[in-house]
Structure 1
């Protein structure tokens, strides 16, 4: 298979799937290395394809009709899951986390937590990896890009985050 055909197939596969696909799975499917897939994805992104890398793999983001907002929050690591639950509860998607690092500038981590199942997987991965969230670099202060179906959903997310003391 030529690289052009492979890239077209990758886009088609990602568009048709609602679940993330790991780079290694794509590599195995197309009989190439994971590094070739990483290069293909970079080229596809440069050509305008809205492909996002998440901890679970690559997804094609086609939620163009959703309302987006950036929220600024501050909390301890122990409150992280509670904060994310509020967003998911109102149908929100946590697209990313953003911190402002004094040396590197803005650091963005893609999350794409769309529902309670995604959140449970994220929490399990977080605990098993014994990782620290990006917000630890900024004493708990961070941003999230969130999206929802309506402005009302965004309003309810922001209202409850404020009520619980998460909002800045």
Structure 2
């Protein structure tokens, strides 16, 4: 049995606590943060998240941490946009979108061997964009769009269609829309 701040708890109780923490915040929580709060290793958190997902909990791993997907709000509108740009233009693309009050939910590429590959982004503001770009630089990882010569699809979400249309106009102005 592991402890939370000195109190012994079972794995089931720990997973309930993790779920409660994820429910209480709209922002992603890093595995290291959860591990520290639960007084366990990050690997234990990874295993707990896997078990919660297997139970059907809608938890996703984003570049900013773990996020519990809330049921879609009735007033949110989503739209799919196809884009193409260089890696060096990624920050500009994302900033143009979030500056319009639009969230970038995910990125999708069409891989010739594996088919459609989609990963969650959940980029909502310039701080999220900066964090994403810093992680990209720090890890030296490749963007999914590098598999498709810069071509990718984003699912965008906003409270009204005008915000999404404004973001689309900003992307078009920059030459990022296909």
Q: 2:29 aligns with which of 9, 21, 28?
A: 21
* Larger CA deviation: 27-36 vs 135-144: 27-36
The residue aligned with 2:110 is 100
Aligned to 1:76: 86
Residues 105-114 or 89-98, more deviating: 105-114
Matched, 1:55 2:96: no
State the distance in 2 between where 1:102 and 1:142 align: 13
The 5-angstrom pairing of residues 17-166 of structure 1 reads: 17-62=25-70, 64-65=72-73, 66-166=76-176
Deviations along 1:119-162, whole A, 9 cap, x unmatched? 11222222233332111110010011221111221122122222
| 1:63 shift after superposition | 6.4
Q: How many residues are aligned here?
A: 168
Unpaired segments ≥5 residues, structure 1: none
Stretches of structure 2 that go unaligned for 5 or more consecutive residues are 1-8
Q: CA RMSD in A?
A: 1.9
Which TM-score applies when normalising by structure 2? 0.84
Partner Cα distance (1:148, 1:122) in 2: 20
Deviation of 1:29 (Å) = 2.6
| C-alpha separation in 1, matches of 2:125 and 2:149 | 27
Cα distance in 2, alignment partners of residues 87 and 52 from structure 1: 22
If the length of structure 1 is used for normalisation, what is the TM-score?
0.88
Q: Look up the SS of the partner of 1:135 in the other structure.
A: helix
> Residue 108 of structure 2 contacts residue 116 of structure 2 at CA under 8 Å; is this kept in 1?
yes
Range 100-109 or range 55-64, more displaced? 55-64
SS at match of 1:9: helix
